[in-house]
Amino acid sequence: MNEKKNKLIALAHRKGQLCASDLSEVGVSRSYLLYLASRGVFRRIAHGVYVAADQISENETLQATSAAVPHGVICLLSALQFHEITTQLPMETWIAIKRNQAIPKIKDFTLRIVRLKINYFDCGIEEHQIQGVTVRVYSPAKTVVDCFKFRNKVGIDVAREALKESLAQDKATVDEIYRYAKICRMLNVMRPYLEIVR
């Protein structure tokens, strides 16, 4: 029994998280994982997603969101927080999905869904590995542009702070921001702000 438990813990550390499909690698049942979770060996971070109890990540919510909505991309306030270019602390996880995709039903945490046209959705996606979990998040430059695009949702002050901080911390260049502003049809809105910082 301890051998299976140790293999499961090692697998969780290697992959970053466990779900039912991972259990066949070790030859254990889902009920055994639930049993270990009830004993404090694993923690549930989302429906059907577990991590080893000693694994603590400051981006755990982003891991859980990425596992629950693999076709989505972390955006706006959550992306700003991930890139450390804001003073905002969002109470929910902001995630973008394509306009025609179904909205995921998640009970474990609060999502703020943003629907994007495919040409806006597909640009500026970065993939980061967090404890073995692939987290898709928009780049700092694309996030800044999105903040201006959705300024009615996040506020113009947040958008201006994101622009200022991303440039001050060298997380994005004016040229990158211009490029995404052009793709997302935000150049006219953003031009006055970009000319101030040039």
| Cβ contacts of 91-100, under 8 Å, gap ≥ 24 | 93/61, 93/62, 93/65, 95/65, 95/69, 96/72, 96/121, 96/138, 96/146, 97/69, 97/71, 97/72, 97/73, 97/121, 98/71
**CB-based contacts of 85: which residues, under 8 Å, 6+ apart?**
140, 143, 144, 162, 165, 166, 169, 171
User: Closest Cα to residue 130, out of 59, 67, 78?
Assistant: 59
- Fold of the 2-52 domain: Arc Repressor Mutant, subunit A (1.10.10)
Give the pTM.
0.75
Q: Is 189 exposed, middle or buried (0-12, 13-18, 19+ CB in 10 A)?
A: middle
**Residues carrying CATH 1.10.10, the chain:** 2-52
Which tops the pLDDT comparison, 29 or 111?
Answer: 111
Residue located via tokens 């991303």: 166
Structure token pair of residue 25: 């690698």
Structure token pair of residue 56: 């603590």
pLDDT tens for 9-51 read: 788 777 777 777 777 777 887 888 878 877 777 777 766 777 7
pLDDT on residue 46: 66
pLDDT tens for 85-104 read: 988 888 889 999 999 888 77
SS3 96: strand
Least confident residue range of 74-83, 127-136, 150-159: 127-136
Q: Dihedral, CA atoms, 188, 96, 109, 49, nearest 10 degrees? A: -150
